[in-house]
Amino acid sequence: MFYIYILQSLADNSYYVGCTENTSRRISEHNSEKVRSTKTRQPWSLRYTEKYNTLSEARSRENQIKRWKSRAAIERLLNK
């Protein structure tokens, strides 16, 4: 299984959208400065996940969410 996930920074309330096979491991990497794009805004909290059978499905959904480029659109998804 593959997952898309949305993290929220507890430092500045920004969001990060990603894709992984193991959400626990990936969140740990985000919170231990192993991910360049998120290390300056930690700690991160998991806010949302969706499960997919294939990596290509998960990547497609990840890219769709990233194309929204709108905090309001992400927050509508989180509040469903």
Tell me the C-alpha distance between 49 and 47, whole Å.
7
Q: What is the pLDDT of residue 23?
A: 95
Residue 80 has pLDDT above 90, yes or no: no
Please compute the mean of the pLDDT values over residues 9-29 and round it to a whole number: 96
Is the pLDDT higher at 17 or at 33? 17
Residue 70 has pLDDT above 90, yes or no: no
Please compute the mean of the pLDDT values over residues 20-33 and round it to a whole number: 95
Residue 69 has pLDDT above 90, yes or no: no
Q: What is the largest CA-CA distance in the chain?
A: 33
Tell me the C-alpha distance between 75 and 39, whole Å.
22
